[in-house]
Amino acid sequence: MPSSTVENYLKHILLLSEGAQDLVSMGELAAALAVVPGTATTMIKALAREGYVAHQPRQGVSLTPSGRTVALSVLRKHRLVETFLVNVLKMDWASVHAEAEQLEHAISDEVLDRLDALLGYPATDPHGDPIPSRKGKLNFQVYASLATCALKQPLRIVRITEQTAEFLQFADQNNLLPGSTLSVTGRNLTAGLATIKTAGTRAQALSITAAGKILVEPLRR
Amino acid sequence: MPSSTVENYLKHILLLSEGAQDLVSMGELAAALAVVPGTATTMIKALAREGYVAHQPRQGVSLTPSGRTVALSVLRKHRLVETFLVNVLKMDWASVHAEAEQLEHAISDEVLDRLDALLGYPATDPHGDPIPSRKGKLNFQVYASLATCALKQPLRIVRITEQTAEFLQFADQNNLLPGSTLSVTGRNLTAGLATIKTAGTRAQALSITAAGKILVEPLRR
DNA sequence: CGCGCTATTTTGAGTAGTCAAAATAATTTA
DNA sequence: TAAATTATTTTGACTACTCAAAATAGCGCG
Ligand SMILES: [Mn+2]
Ligand SMILES: [Mn+2]
Ligand SMILES: [Mn+2]
Ligand SMILES: [Mn+2]
């Protein structure tokens, strides 16, 4: 069985390659795991020896099928645990990420299946992140963000791509949760600002950087 | 924060000194943790340096107040998690011990408090083991066992003191669960057997060793 | 083409936890 | 009380993971 260190490495490689090209650089991997780059290199060489990753020296690293299986299983645990903590234990959605970071390594498949059933087989976690299926299928979908979508169109928030407690608290306070509806009334790239308007509230400004972390879909029907 | 290895050492010292004299020998501690005795000695010396235990060389080890606090917190997590797994997720009571062995190190106090509330602040876990309070009070009570109680008296099972899946499965199949009522009809110390009679079933034999692991209280009222 | 910047890799060292086997202490037996 | 048995401790070695700092490779620019 892979240690929780190994699980964290594999999960972060998966996360960092989501959507992007397949090779993850040592620099970004080390930063994501909060270790120095040399540590990541050493570890990746060990993981390559064990068949979890393919390492292109000085280029980057990618998951093998076996590494991807482990990574998806850990990610599934992480996101189902987050959902449990928010939906059942009513915890603050900004704090559950840190909890799940530990629990994802301690939960058995048996417990996970029962949690999944208890929750009604959810497709996404509280942040809108897709939950990999038991079989290891990750429903990857490309969405526009508040930084890239069309202006003045009714939108629904589907996902917040940023796990830090600060950002999530900010989103919560401004009613920017998955499910809420809004539209972007204007955008000023020079100033780096977007103006948004949510249902019950008045217009507010948002940095383009923050806007890019909030994914939306056009409100149809 | 103590590592999960340290937590396991402290928890097992607490369990092994439950009821008995205070000093736990290196031999029994090593056996409980499935390490060789030399490893336990080395580790205990480190724990003594960190103030978690008092080590009487060649005599044994006992918890300091600080070590006891940690041990009680881990034990509380263990038993509340077991209760959650059985009562909410409807897991087999024989398998939850192994699950809790991991989860006890990954659960935060915040999550634990909410779990406690969800479960209705239970006093004991599914095996009848007392759950330490948030303040660290462990309700230790001396009970008779099926090996020591009076004969022909109506009894209620209050606790099963043995965590192995085999024994718990056996107890389950013979309806020997906390709460069930029965009486001991006879005992033959020479043959090492006890005969018991539960409500709906016919009399059955039980080894004295097994009987000693089933704690009971006289059925009053 | 060669110089310099940056990311990566290598090297050397340290911590936590473990085991096998030898040394030692304590206790039991004769 | 001396020898034998048993439990504990010590020693030396190993794995997993980490960092600091030095070495190296791969650019991009002049
Ligand atoms: Mn993690
Ligand atoms: Mn999430
Ligand atoms: Mn444990
Ligand atoms: Mn229990």
Domain that holds residue A174: 144-218
Q: Which nucleotide is nearest to B38 (CA to C1')?
A: D9
**pLDDT of amino acid A72:** 98
On whether the pTM is more than 0.85, the answer is yes
The beta-carbon contacts of B39-47 under 8 Å, at least 24 apart in sequence, are B40/B9, B43/B5, B43/B9, B44/B9, B47/B6, B47/B9, B47/B10
Q: Is the CB of B58 under 7 A from strand C?
A: yes
> Mutate which of B81, B104, B108 to disrupt the A interface (most A C-beta within 10 Å)?
B108
Instruction: Report the nucleotide nearest the CA of residue A36, measured to C1'.
Output: D19
Q: How far is A105 from chain B (nearest CA, A)?
A: 8
Q: Is B46 a member of any domain?
A: yes
Beta-ladder partners of B207: B193
A37: domain CATH number is 1.10.10.10
B190 CB less than 7 Å from any atom of strand C: no
CATH, residue B189: 2.30.30.90
Of A132, A133, A166, A142, give the one whose Cα is nearest residue A11.
A132
Is B74 part of any domain?
no
**Chain B residues with a Cβ under 8 Å from any Cβ in chain A:** 85, 88-91, 95, 99, 102-103, 105-108, 110-111, 114-115, 118
Residue A213 lies in a domain: yes
DSSP symbol at A157:
E
- Which one of B88, B91, B111 has the shortest CB-CB distance to A85? B111
pLDDT the model gives residue A83: 98
Position of tokens 């016919």? B202
Rounded to the nearest angstrom, the minimum Cα separation between B162 and chain A is: 22
Residue B220 has pLDDT above 80, yes or no: no
Asked whether the beta carbons of residue A91 and residue B105 sit closer than 8 angstroms, the reply is no
**Residue B5 CA, ligand 3 centroid: distance in Å:** 8
A214 within some domain: yes
Task: Report pLDDT for B202.
Answer: 80
Question: If you measure from the C-alpha of residue B103 to the centroid of ligand 3, how many angstroms do you get, rounded to a whole number?
Answer: 7
From CA B114, how far away is CA B110, in angstroms rounded? Answer: 7
CA of A42 to C1' of C23 (A): 39
Query: Which of B32, B63, B94 is the last residue before a domain boundary?
Result: B63
Q: Is the pLDDT of residue B221 over 60?
A: no
What's the CA–C1' distance between A39 and C14, in Å?
14
b/e sequence A37-68, b meaning 16+ C-beta within 10 Å: eeebbebbeebbeeebbbbeeeebbbbbeebb
Tell me what the mean pLDDT of segment B36-55 comes to: 98
In 3D space, the residue among A168, A162, A146, A156 whose CA is nearest the CA of residue A86 turns out to be A168
Examine residue A109 and state whether it is found in any structural domain, yes or no.
no
pLDDT in tens, B48-76: 999 999 999 999 999 999 999 999 999 99
Contacts of B82 in chain A (CB under 8 A): none
A101 alpha carbon, closest ligand: 1
Last residue of a domain, one of B14, B33, B63: B63
Q: A88: distance to nearest CA of chain B, Å?
A: 9
Test the A interface: residue of B5, B77, B92, B102 with most A CBs within 10 Å: B102
- Domain assignment of residue A111, yes or no: no
Q: In a structure prediction context, what are the per-residue pLDDT tens digits for chain A, which is 221 residues long?
A: 999 999 999 999 999 998 777 899 999 999 999 999 999 999 999 999 999 999 999 999 999 999 999 999 999 999 999 999 999 999 999 999 999 999 999 999 999 999 999 999 999 999 999 999 999 999 988 999 999 999 999 999 999 998 888 899 999 988 899 999 999 999 998 888 999 998 777 788 999 999 999 999 999 75
Q: How far is the CA of B124 from the centre of ligand 2 (A)?
A: 34
By the CB criterion, residues less than 5 angstroms from ion ligand 1 are: A 8, 101
B153-192 tens-digit pLDDT: 999 999 999 888 889 999 998 889 999 999 999 999 888 8
How many A from CA of A130 to the centre of ligand 3?
Answer: 31
Last residue of a domain, one of A63, A89, A108: A63
Span A30-59, pLDDT tens digits: 999 999 999 999 999 999 999 999 999 999
- Distance from Cα A130 to the centre of ligand 2, integer Å: 8
Token reading at A14? 């998966």
Count of domains observed in chain A = 2
Q: Which residues of B touch A90 (CB under 8 A)?
A: 114
The per-residue pLDDT for range A68-99, each reduced to its tens digit, is 999 999 999 999 999 999 999 999 999 999 99
Q: Which alpha helices (DSSP H) does chain B contain, by range?
A: 4-17, 26-33, 37-49, 65-87, 96-103, 109-119, 165-173, 208-211
* Segments in A23-150 forming alpha helices (H): 26-33, 37-49, 65-87, 96-103, 109-118
Within-domain flag for A78: no
Query: What DSSP element (H or E) covers B60?
Result: strand B60-63
Instruction: Supply the pLDDT for residue A221.
Output: 57
